[in-house]
Structure 1
Amino acid sequence: MATQHHNALTRALAELPGPLPAFGVIHIAIPHTSRFTIVGNHLAQHAELSLVAIGIGVHIQSLPVGSLVGIKALTARFAEGEMRIAAALRELEAHGYLRRAHVRLANGRMATRTVFCNQPGALERAGRVVVAPKVPPAVPEEAPAPPPAPEPDPVPESHPPVRVPPRTAPKPPRRPLPQPRELTPELRQTASAILAGLRNHAEELVLSEADVEELIPGVAAWLEREVRPDAIRHVLTTDLPKLPKYPAKIVRHRLTVLLPPPLPGAEELAPAVRRPLVVPLQNCDGCDRAFRSREPGHCRGCRDLAAAA
């Protein structure tokens, strides 16, 4: 079987026009007759999108209208985790390929519409959204081809109009890196050693000298809260994403969002002192003598006399 594939590849290469390049990829382009999607090079060769974002963009573009493309659905379909898929969707949204809009349905309920545009530049120039119907999969050759269905409207009447949010929507401000009350020389030295030695515990976390200098206050804040160095290393090196693109950003994020509270002092841990209950004094309405009671009235002697009478 492998020999047949090799012979077919050899024949296909021999039929290519012109001399073959000495290095690099060689394309054997066989026209598709069914189940194919046209993808622009502006997406497939995007200079700023990550490879995960490009792959998810191509996958979403190949799906029919109405398919689920949320984080949960994509995580169930692919091996990447939720964090990588969520980051890829944010990349596509930042570059205009993916839009999320909240719309009100006919029954009054709110729903989220996810819109994927195969040409964001053309969308901005036209100033409108065009939802193109997907081509249905081809039928088997032995079955007669059905008559062509009428082309649906770009936007079905049952769908409410889609309001596309502007691409320049402000991003939430990034949380600041934790700071110690006082960055002593001892804290600085220990924090610098922990950051520089992370690559010995996780080879993905190779930090530059500038990264270490920037992240020293964050580690010092942990040390100031009496977190042991081995516990800090465990938090920063456990369950890392595969091949992180920006290791310093991962360390900064974990130092910021996972910062533990300060240890409680002796005052917080001391048991509460229970004070004795004091019943107030009252003057008897009958004999004017003092007696202890929560409510005013008669003393016990006057109550006994009244009961005997």
Structure 2
Amino acid sequence: MAKAGFGKRHVPDEAPRGAADFAHLPTREAAIAAYIDRLPEGAAIGYKVLAEELPDYGQQACRSALDRLTRAGHLRRIRVQIAVEGSGLRWVTRTFFARTARDAAWWTRYIRYIRGVDAPGQPPAPDEVPSAEPEPGVPAARSEAYGVLAGLGSREPRLQLSEGECVALEPLVQEWLARGVGREQVGQVLVAGLPASVHSAGAFLRTRLENKMPPVPQPKKNKFREVEETIVAALEMCAFCDENESTTTLVDGVCVDCRADIDRDEANGATGDIPDTFLARPRQRTDVAAKVAGLRAAAGRPAVPGPRAGG
């Protein structure tokens, strides 16, 4: 896992996982993409860490694979300035992973308006689309608290309430629910131990709700709890170095210098798989390549040759 606040993040609006999610990629890239996809948020997914975790590939091979995933629209590295509860402002670096490949325009919009906050100097975010007006005659949806009150009469005839009484008592029941008492438990408390006759159900329930109000739950002490944060700014970074869009030109998420280094390594054959004789343990031959080939066949796609072995 990366340091707190850093590491992998998912993008919104992702489709459910499917067998052919990465069938459009070469074998190595498909294997690494599938591995990253299953990592939890906050996991470290830099090429050096991946090389330590994936025994078949070295650092240069993992860097080359991440470059191709970035070009294909699955990855973007973003530098985010956040205001942290009790700690002031700080910058963190996060790598956002999209199971569904996104084009450059989508990533640009996402980075500019990540969590609804504009990066400095950018045009304002587009206005929210107004919600559709409800159709005439369709009643507004009622809250869970209102439902608890409205259902009391069917459980106990002495507690039959009018609509106005339900609305008046609704905030009290909402407070019970907010303090961690379940809907069914609230109902049980309200109908238990009733007197022989109830002259005013509304007044009786108000007294019971107020007198038996549960205490506010105390937060559990947990050193690993998520702290509250507010994003102040967001800048796209190169996937492999500390340059960002304010200091250099990025093309598909990678700066010119890093892209030149990767292209040179690939031309020299330095990004292939680790030779078998250098592996700490035997290579698992049967899983990744065969599985991806099967996915391609199932999707009606032609086979794609794997990466060239290093010299």
Larger Rg: 1
Structure of higher RCO (CA pairs closer than 8 Å, 6+ residues apart): 2
In the superposition, the TM-score normalised over structure 2's length comes to 0.26
Q: Which structure dedicates a bigger proportion of its chain to strand?
A: 2
In the superposition, the TM-score normalised over structure 1's length comes to 0.26
